[in-house]
Structure 1
Amino acid sequence: MNYTTGTGELQEWLVAEEGFRTSWLGKGETVFSLGNGYMGLRSVTEEHYANEQRNLFVAGTFNKFAQNEVTELPNAADVLWMEFILDGTRFDLTQGTILKYNRTLNLKHAELVREVTWQSPDGKVYDLVFRRFVSMADLHVIVQRVSITPRQESTLAMTSGINGQMTNSGVQHFLEGDKRLYDGRLMQQLQTTTESGIDFAFHSIHRFSLKGSFEPKSIIKMDRRQIFFDYSDIRIPAGETLTIEKYSTVFTSRDNDVMSETREELANLALNATRDIEARGYESLFNDHVKAWDDLVWSHAPITIESESMFDQLAVRFAQYHLAVMTPKHDNRMNVAAKGLSGEGYKGHTFWDTEIFILPYYTYTNPKIARSLLEYRYLSLPGAHQKAKENGYEGAMFPWESAWLDDGEVTPVWGAADIVTGEATKIWSGFIEQHITSDIAFAAWQYYHVTGDQDFMDRFGYELLIDTAKFWASRLEWNDENGQYEINQVVGPDEYKEHVDNNAFTNYTAHWNIQTAIQYVELLRREKPELYERLDEKLDLGAAEERFRHVLELIYLPQVREDGVLPQDDTYLQKEIIDLTKYKNQQNVGSMFYDYNLEQVNEIQVSKQADVMILMYLLEDLFTADVKRANWEYYEPKTLHDSSLSLSTHSVLASDLGDQELAYDLFRRASEIDLGPNMKTSDAGIHAASLGGIWQAVVNGFGGVRMTGGKLRISPMLPKAWNSLRFSINWKNETLDVHASRNQVIITRRTPTLEPLIIEVYGELREIKETFTSEVLSV
């Protein structure tokens, strides 16, 4: 990988691959993946290779293969598929000689370009350029352009079409479907998912040009779940360029922008849309696509870093790029998957990754999208109620892994092999990792206080916060001996500790959830009597409030010891301490499990990821700086950062503690999870939460942006490697531009009102009317 190829206007915008190895295909397929939130396209090559993973996912189209499996996003038909025979020899980079190779993702334009000079085994040389994009302007469109320039007069034969034989690691989610050719050029394939009954309509059409447009000799073919053209006898003079364009569309019956009641109506709509797309041509579609990207991301939420290392600027743009690619901004029935739409990892399911790591990016930069993601949680309340009821609780108990709105819990039961027993390891997260319920409540609360979106609270937010508190109030267990309510047998954020009692993160956030619900019940009764009555009918607010008040002061909250350390749970601090140097310096995550199984790791003072520390990040007002430092010094050496969620959290906390150089090191390590030199880290898909965490490390960490108690704080502290940082955030429906340098910070209101804005800057409340400048203070 090379991150320095960009020059001029494209400096720090290009991610490039300068070598081809089939053993490393997964890295490029993920890092270069394209998408628009509606669909995600893993960036395989047009031609097939061993070890490739061809994936096309459409958000929200979940299907279950069998009753003993969980629902997952089905791998849809492959429309990229193109095979080339040049002068009788198949174009294959594992054969012949690669004289030149470069594949580049242009983040600014969201276009993937592959340039190859290939010498075939019989010595003939060809220059090929492959371009593609998934349109951000029209969510249903995929466009490819292939240019072939032979050094000698040549003949091309080509196969290209729609391949519906795709599987999810062997699982076929689609029925055979129907295939048809229209207008002698336009291929159609219709398929339906086996269990959820979602119709998919795929269309592809080609356009050829060589000194003008022409139609080559061809024959249409059909096979099981396939429709394709065989083109033959395309003659290309030496030095001339043949251009092949392929226009494809993807529509489904789950689309909320498609008014079709039958599969036939869906097919006709998609067919006509494809005709229109092909008529417009590559350049017109591409220009609209680039403008849509600029409006959504690059002009809307720019971040500029002046650093000694250009990689820092590239890393944050890479994060913003993939956040836009993976987020279904078009439909509030859908959410962000843990691997986005870039791979089969985690089956397309949504975790707490969204609320804690990804949502803040949108809350501070695009509240409309943030609200849509939170509305998904509101719309999935039936599944949360179902899970609570099945477990003997009340209120909303959100699933650890979520898919479609009413699916409920979809976490698989069995996982990787136990190296000691040889059996599959049981995945307990779906049963007892319950902090996601308070995570969702916290995210709704944070969104409201940052945006001031009262309509969201009235329609969704109050109900979410109270319904989740009802779960916690019913989940508490009374300890008669100690005279307190406890939360036992859970998994906290540190998933290397299962079946623990009184996990600090879980207990504190549950307490916060109940306390906040009490405040909102009081507010509704006092200020919004009509809304109070409506929610009282749904949630029985009187009984709920009585229960909340009864339990609140009796919930056990682990207390800070004399040395400042907050126990992660009842037994963590009594577990065995071993030398973790080997695992802290590991090349690949999870190396500890080559030596221990999970049951053994459970008895060692070692953590997968931030646990107590993320509590002190989210509920920072509850803990002093000295306590944060003491816990950092105790837990960080015991944290392996085996979760991609961990490094960015620690980076923000290091900034809070005033250690900018450590924060910068952790930021760089987080950025290298996908962009780094390890060529195997991203095979299963992009690390979605880490990308949201990278933005937080920059804006919440080095930028010093924080919302606490409903108030805004901006206190930037840059690392030595940075000379300046510019970013924009949304606060209460207005945009603030922040420019931080080594010596000062300038905060500018784009649309100042008559009312001054009160912001805490370096510990002092400042009144900002238009522009405010402050000297940087050391912390």
Structure 2
Amino acid sequence: MKNYIQADEWNIIEEGFDPHLNKISESIFSLGNGHMGQRANFEEAYSGETLQGNYVAGVYYPDKTRVGWWKNGYPEYFAKVLNAANWIGIDIVIDGIQLDLSQCKVISFKRVLNMQQGYLERFFVAELSNGNQVSVAAKRFCSIVDEEAGAIRYSITPLNFSGEVKIMPFIDGDVSNYDANYDEKFWDHVDQQAAGLDTYLMLETRKTNFVVCTGSRFAVHQNGQLVAVEAQPILKDKYVASVFTLNLVQGQETVIYKYAANVSSQNYAPEDLPGACKAVIDRVAAKGFETMLQEQADAWQKKWDESDIVIEGDVSAQQGIRFNIFQLSQTYTGKDARLNIGPKGFTGEKYGGSTYWDTEAYCVPFYLATAPQQVTKNLLVYRYNQLGKAIENATKLGFNKGAALYPMVTMNGEECHNEWEITFEEIHRNGAIAYAIFNYIRYTGDQDYLVDYGLEVLIGIARFWKQRVNWSNAKKQYVMLGVTGPNEYENNINNNWYTSTLATWCMGYAIEALNYVKAQAADKCQALLGRLNFNEADETGAWQHIIDNMYYAEDKEHGIYLQQDGFLDKEIIHVKDLDPSQRPLNQKWSWDRILRSCFIKQADVLQGFYFFRDQYDIDTLRRNYNFYEPLTVHESSLSPCIHAILASRLDLADDAYNFYLRTSRLDLDDYNNDTEDGLHITSMAGTWMSVVEGFAGMHVQDDTLKFEPFLPAKWKSFSFNVGFRKNTLNVKIVADGVRITNLSGSALSVNVFDKPVLIEAGAEAFVVR
């Protein structure tokens, strides 16, 4: 675990430059705006260890799967978000020596991510090999007002000399993905131009034929005055730059402003991209850097008004939650139903930047409560639009009659995960899609979603589960063979309790949804069932028979549900008894050893208790938690938050707090020694869940928003806003109770500590603990 980020409520601060931590910092200080993003690479040259990364949302490449064997139904490619043209570059050469922090003496260095206003700044003083000392201050952001644009203010001040500087703003499209299977480059050159202060580069992806035009314009100021420069163009393959020279005067600041844009063929015809790119550059350059920066601050304030969590008395915890909310908010805005949330967002390439079940299980609750309803609806519509592909995926694996298997990993609905035990067996992801529909409707009350979209998806999923189980003559029950549950430290197991529970729940919910749509929109329902060749009596009868006769592994002696058949055949060893030098297991042990062990990567049985909290009493939860948590190594970023929520329900305040701190600072403190690959964006929503669903105990039951809160010992209070069915509430938990303020124009009934509370419009209520 690293501990070099300074504690601050609104800023992420790195003081001093350690090259060994640079790739970690590149992840932590990443920027984005939902349309594009970048790692915190330096503007000037850097020859040290770095992971260069600029990304444009939705632009991907089907990199051919690299395996030594092949199986029927195996994906032919692994889709990945592409490292796109680097637009931030500004090469600096002073008196013939290139400015490069890897090649000079770094006298001082500070990097600050201002989360409140949404920008990154960096300050350093460097001594070049000839003794010249230069001070640099750089500030940049990806605009959430002009989402196709970004801007940089880069200043140079010579401290002990006067001399000549050569400045070269550039766009470099000759880039590659760090994780390319065959070291292949994925971009082809289309066009480029450099004229005066403008540069433009247009590239096209191989195979997928996305076209992206990246453009930039710069301006130079000295002594606060605009300087006219004679820039010379440099045109190379997939690279365009302008170069000019200036005189530097000791103590005088020279400022380069760089405005850039990324526009893609997702939103424009390819032939219109140069004009569209220039229009964006014209617009933002006319505003100027300071106006754009103020607009950025104002827009971020609106985001914080919706989603901020305020913690009094614990700066580390406050910084952690705001960092997670900040990264979520700049990764996904919900404006475009074609986009989803990659596990690394715009911060790295691991996991390909594709869509996983993380979105439905972890991100949906965050956006439901902190964003307009349409944002979450777009996440669900994304899956609805890919239903045809889900049916194709199931067909490839031998299923038929409209059975739908949603992919574990996807960009366009096709499965593209390249590990067989995940691709073929981790089918619980199908249930997460159905659960998200249920969760959305439960929270928003938007039952029309079932009529227009949801029922069709639920039928496809239920048809899959019906075919995926089989009748066991030995048990006289239905069984689920050959699966991988959320605990990926077990493969090819039988009767995973979570998967089986989710499967029967899905079939039951599909029946419930069908009955609702029949009653509310009979004509639409009849048309849908006709199109799907749905025989109601046969299909729902089969589903119900499975529901009534499903086998679930359990151990009555311990009073627990078994993660899978035979789990207790393992040698049961608690994590606390492991030699710490053996952790993390996935970096220290062979896969064979992990699979034979009892150790659990993340919540598995306990994931079911989180989803279906109303179906199990507190004593059953306690028995299962007390058995499984001591065996869990939490080597998935998705694990600590679920345990924080369940520990909160069990009044295990210290456990809940420690799990919260781990999930909130997972990347800031590099708990799992993998932050350099990119941040864990989707699990960051779990940090919000830990506070709101865990410490505040917020959940929906019987169409009512309920709170069962407690206050962590280190905190004086915590507060947050939530939207619920067109109402907005501010909830503040203090030592002796809960204060809820209704910020909406209509009254709302809630439940606090099992007490019904009616809060009038504009009023507040205080409920004593």
- The alignment's TM-score, normalised by the length of structure 1, stands at 0.92
Amino acid at match of 2:510: A
- Please state if 1:198 is matched with 2:210: yes
Residue in 1 aligned with 2:72? none
2:26 aligned residue (29, 34, 44): 29
Write out per-residue CA displacement over residues 215-247 of structure 1, whole angstroms, 9 at most, x where no aligned residue. Answer: 334321111111112222x10211111000111
- Please state if 1:209 is matched with 2:221: yes
Cα deviation for residue 550 of structure 1 reads 2.8
- Please state if 1:156 is matched with 2:165: yes
Q: Is the 8 A contact 1:356 1:439 kept in 2?
A: yes
- Please state if 1:474 is matched with 2:480: no
Q: Is the 8 A contact 2:79 2:410 kept in 1?
A: no
Amino acid at match of 2:387: L
Q: Is the 8 A contact 2:169 2:242 kept in 1?
A: yes
- Please state if 1:43 is matched with 2:51: no
- Percent of aligned positions that are identical: 28
- Choose 189-198 or 92-101, whichever is displaced more: 92-101
Q: Is the 8 A contact 1:328 1:336 kept in 2?
A: no
Pairing 1:658-669 to 2, within 5 Å after superposition? 658-669=651-662
Q: Is the 8 A contact 2:308 2:325 kept in 1?
A: no
Write out per-residue CA displacement over residues 711-739 of structure 1, whole angstroms, 9 at most, x where no aligned residue. Answer: 32112111111111111111112112111
Residue in 1 aligned with 2:298? 291
Residue in 2 aligned with 1:386? 392
Cα deviation for residue 273 of structure 1 reads 2.0
- Please state if 1:762 is matched with 2:763: no
Residue in 1 aligned with 2:343? 338
Residue in 2 aligned with 1:720? 713
- Please state if 1:168 is matched with 2:147: no
- Please state if 1:52 is matched with 2:61: no
Cα deviation for residue 587 of structure 1 reads 8.6
SS of 2:676 mapped into structure 1: coil
Partners of 2:670 and 2:206 lie apart in 1 by: 40
- Choose 474-483 or 370-379, whichever is displaced more: 474-483
Q: Is the 8 A contact 2:197 2:231 kept in 1?
A: no
Q: Is the 8 A contact 1:502 1:558 kept in 2?
A: yes
Amino acid at match of 1:225: K
Cα deviation for residue 454 of structure 1 reads 3.1
Q: Is the 8 A contact 1:608 1:642 kept in 2?
A: yes
Partners of 1:555 and 1:679 lie apart in 2 by: 38
Residue in 2 aligned with 1:650? 643
- Please state if 1:571 is matched with 2:562: no
- Choose 59-68 or 730-739, whichever is displaced more: 59-68
Write out per-residue CA displacement over residues 389-419 of structure 1, whole angstroms, 9 at most, x where no aligned residue. Answer: 11222422111111124xx101023xxxxxx
Partners of 2:77 and 2:513 lie apart in 1 by: 40
Q: Is the 8 A contact 1:137 1:292 kept in 2?
A: yes
Partners of 1:55 and 1:701 lie apart in 2 by: 35
Cα deviation for residue 639 of structure 1 reads 0.6
Q: Is the 8 A contact 1:219 1:231 kept in 2?
A: yes
Amino acid at match of 2:169: S
Residue in 1 aligned with 2:254? 242
- Choose 454-463 or 680-689, whichever is displaced more: 454-463
Q: Is the 8 A contact 1:204 1:246 kept in 2?
A: yes
Residue in 1 aligned with 2:192? 179
1:431 aligned residue (424, 429, 453): 424
Write out per-residue CA displacement over residues 51-109 of structure 1, whole angstroms, 9 at most, x where no aligned residue. Answer: 21111111111212447542211111111112111222221223332222100000011
Residue in 1 aligned with 2:200? 188
Aligned residues: 744
Pairing 1:229-308 to 2, within 5 Å after superposition? 229-232=242-245, 234-255=246-267, 260-261=268-269, 263-295=270-302, 297-307=303-313
Cα deviation for residue 472 of structure 1 reads 1.0
For residues 679 and 395 of structure 1, do their structure 2 counterparts lie closer, same or farther at Cα, with a shift above 3 Å needed? closer
5+ unaligned residues in a row in structure 1: which ranges?
A: 7-11, 414-426
Q: Is the 8 A contact 1:452 1:733 kept in 2?
A: no
- Choose 321-330 or 738-747, whichever is displaced more: 321-330
Q: Is the 8 A contact 2:7 2:319 kept in 1?
A: no
- Please state if 1:528 is matched with 2:536: no
SS of 1:192 mapped into structure 2: strand
Cα deviation for residue 769 of structure 1 reads 3.4
Partners of 1:579 and 1:300 lie apart in 2 by: 41
Cα deviation for residue 560 of structure 1 reads 5.5
Partners of 1:751 and 1:218 lie apart in 2 by: 56
Q: Is the 8 A contact 1:63 1:71 kept in 2?
A: yes
Partners of 1:320 and 1:381 lie apart in 2 by: 30
Write out per-residue CA displacement over residues 579-617 of structure 1, whole angstroms, 9 at most, x where no aligned residue. Answer: 6446574696335x523x223322221111111111111
Q: Is the 8 A contact 1:77 1:166 kept in 2?
A: yes
Amino acid at match of 1:534: A
Partners of 1:14 and 1:36 lie apart in 2 by: 18
- Please state if 1:114 is matched with 2:108: no
- Choose 198-207 or 394-403, whichever is displaced more: 394-403
Amino acid at match of 2:177: N
Q: Is the 8 A contact 2:172 2:238 kept in 1?
A: yes
SS of 2:700 mapped into structure 1: strand
Amino acid at match of 1:245: Y
1:141 aligned residue (142, 149, 156): 149
- The alignment's TM-score, normalised by the length of structure 2, stands at 0.93
2:688 aligned residue (692, 695, 698): 695
Amino acid at match of 1:757: L
Residue in 2 aligned with 1:420? none
Residue in 2 aligned with 1:311? 316
5+ unaligned residues in a row in structure 2: which ranges?
A: 66-75
Q: Is the 8 A contact 1:717 1:776 kept in 2?
A: no
For residues 442 and 744 of structure 1, do their structure 2 counterparts lie closer, same or farther at Cα, with a shift above 3 Å needed? same
Partners of 1:460 and 1:525 lie apart in 2 by: 14
Q: Is the 8 A contact 2:149 2:280 kept in 1?
A: no
1:353 aligned residue (358, 368, 371): 358
SS of 1:100 mapped into structure 2: strand
Pairing 1:73-92 to 2, within 5 Å after superposition? 73-92=81-100
SS of 2:193 mapped into structure 1: strand
For residues 776 and 717 of structure 1, do their structure 2 counterparts lie closer, same or farther at Cα, with a shift above 3 Å needed? farther
Q: CA RMSD in A?
A: 1.9
Residue in 1 aligned with 2:632? 639
For residues 58 and 677 of structure 1, do their structure 2 counterparts lie closer, same or farther at Cα, with a shift above 3 Å needed? closer
Q: Is the 8 A contact 1:156 1:236 kept in 2?
A: yes
Partners of 1:685 and 1:345 lie apart in 2 by: 7
Partners of 2:657 and 2:663 lie apart in 1 by: 10
Cα deviation for residue 634 of structure 1 reads 1.0
Cα deviation for residue 709 of structure 1 reads 4.8
Partners of 1:340 and 1:477 lie apart in 2 by: 39
Partners of 1:537 and 1:49 lie apart in 2 by: 63
Q: Is the 8 A contact 2:48 2:102 kept in 1?
A: no
Write out per-residue CA displacement over residues 653-703 of structure 1, whole angstroms, 9 at most, x where no aligned residue. Answer: 110100112111111112221011669431111112321111001111111
Partners of 2:733 and 2:624 lie apart in 1 by: 29
Partners of 2:713 and 2:706 lie apart in 1 by: 22
Partners of 2:431 and 2:377 lie apart in 1 by: 17
Partners of 1:584 and 1:35 lie apart in 2 by: 40
Q: Is the 8 A contact 2:148 2:261 kept in 1?
A: yes
Q: Is the 8 A contact 1:583 1:640 kept in 2?
A: no
SS of 2:80 mapped into structure 1: coil
Residue in 1 aligned with 2:540? 545
Partners of 2:326 and 2:113 lie apart in 1 by: 10
Q: Is the 8 A contact 2:194 2:234 kept in 1?
A: no
Cα deviation for residue 205 of structure 1 reads 1.2
Cα deviation for residue 276 of structure 1 reads 2.4
Partners of 1:185 and 1:772 lie apart in 2 by: 56
SS of 1:629 mapped into structure 2: helix
Amino acid at match of 1:599: D
